[in-house]
Chains A and B, each alone.
Chain A
Amino acid sequence: MGNDDHALIRTVLAGEKDAYGLLVARHSQSVFRVAFRITENEADAEEIVQEAFLRGYRKLESFDARANFRTWIYRIAVNCALDVLNKRKKQVAVPIAEEYDGEQGTVQPADGAAGPDRLLLSQEIEARRQAAMEKLTPTERLAFVLRHMEDRSTEEIATALGIAPNSAKQAVFRAVQKLRQSLAPLWVKS
């Protein structure tokens, strides 16, 4: 696959633009997946996919032949996602009144109960998780998604975000702490 990608890149650089279409077809699903996990928004994820492949095409001459195109376009997509998150953060300020009230939303499922109660707990967790994710800074959110959901190492996160490994590690810590604060009441009462 990697060698095929390199051959396609050479073809594109030789003037055959359509060869890039094959690269897009090959990697767009995985790029969409990470974009959606970061933004949790379908439209934003689609926008990130398009922007990532556009940027990728324009930077294709700087692509290192020893690198992996999948990893390379992944990093570009992460940066595009960071831009989207930053833009979203500026546009939407979460009103304090809408912040999640821990006590109000607490659900106490019956011991060992399955069915509606368990389903309700899952929905509660998901709602709190989403609210907690929105409170994270773009860097914290990205670092946490890449670490927890994409199973990327600290080094990979640092490279993708263009920050020092220690900064990437601290971003993950802060994200976990914030999530813990939001989700802990559920576990205390369960």
Chain B
Amino acid sequence: MKHLTEEELIEHYYSEDLYKAESEAHLQACKHCAQAYDELGKLLSSVHAPEPPARSSGYGAQVWQSIQGSLRPYQPKAKRSYFRWPQLGYAAACLLLLAGAFLTGRIWEHEHTQPSLAGTPQQAKERVVLFVLDNHLDRSERLLVQLNHAGTEEEKVDLPLQAEARQLLTDNRLYRQSIAQANDPLLAAALDHLERVLLEVANSPDELSSGDIARIEKEMNTQGLLFQIRVLRTKASGQETNAQATRKGATI
């Protein structure tokens, strides 16, 4: 016969044994275990719970008074509202910021792109003058090339240079006056130089000798003037190309 262990006796005493019926039967049959169980029962039954001192009916109120000072009221939970969710608030703020940045960018681009098409009034005027001048400069360049070329020949020059020079002289005066208002010192200087050359050629005797032309060429520095005019024409051509590219970009 297998006796009950102390643990099994304690479990049985507290009615927590899994095999209560078997344990009970064993205790009935086994004097040894029954005696051990009896001693255990006497022991545990002698251990009484200490009686707590009586508390007054106002004890709860006393406890509450002693702790309530250190308690902070709970904050009522806010009703769930889409506008009170902080995450949505942040997202909305970000969207507004993005939209604002986009609109600002569009406005800035609009304000800064439009003038670039037309340019400042000064630039626009300069571009118009260069465009109109292009033809005049082209004719002047050809005249100067002929003049420079004629200056290297020995014989008399029979070229319609003077007639051309007179015609160009009239136009040049008008252009020079216009350019004076356009505030372009380089162009104004070139036209001034050109006017002096044209004046010299136009007021020369009817038949210019190569020596006369060489003198004019030397005194008036027509080679330098030709270079100036070519530079101006290149500049005018470059500005026109840029303006066209800007217009295309803006259109896209």
Residues of A within 8 A of B (CB): 12-18, 20-21, 24-29, 32-33, 36-37, 40, 42, 45, 49-50, 53-54, 57, 60-61, 125, 129, 145, 147-150, 153-154, 169, 172-173, 176-177, 179-180, 183-184, 187
Contact = CB atoms under 8 A, between A and B. Distances in A.
Question: For the complex, would chain A's binding face be called helix, strand, loop or mixed by DSSP majority?
Answer: helix
A53 B67 contact: yes
A21 B72 CA distance: 13
A36 B39 contact: no
Given A54-B67, A187-B39, A60 B74 contact: yes
Contact of B63 (A49, A147, A149, A187): A49
Given A17-B68, A24-B67, A29-B59, 12 more contacts: A14-B77, A24-B60, A24-B64, A28-B60, A36-B50, A36-B52, A53-B67, A129-B46, A148-B49, A154-B16, A176-B40, A184-B43
B62 to A, nearest CB: 8
23 contacts: A15-B75, A20-B68, A24-B67, A27-B60, A28-B55, A28-B63, A29-B55, A32-B52, A45-B52, A54-B70, A57-B71, A60-B74, A125-B47, A129-B47, A145-B49, A147-B14, A148-B14, A148-B47, A176-B40, A179-B43, A180-B43, A184-B39, A184-B43
A177 B76 CA distance: 52
Nearest to A18: B68
A179 to B, nearest CB: 6
Given A17-B73, A61-B74, A177 B47 contact: no
Question: For the complex, would chain B's binding face be called helix, strand, loop or mixed by DSSP majority?
Answer: helix
B10 interface: yes
Pick from B14, B73, B74 the residue with the most CB of A within 10 Å: B74
A39 to B, nearest CB: 10
Nearest to A126: B48
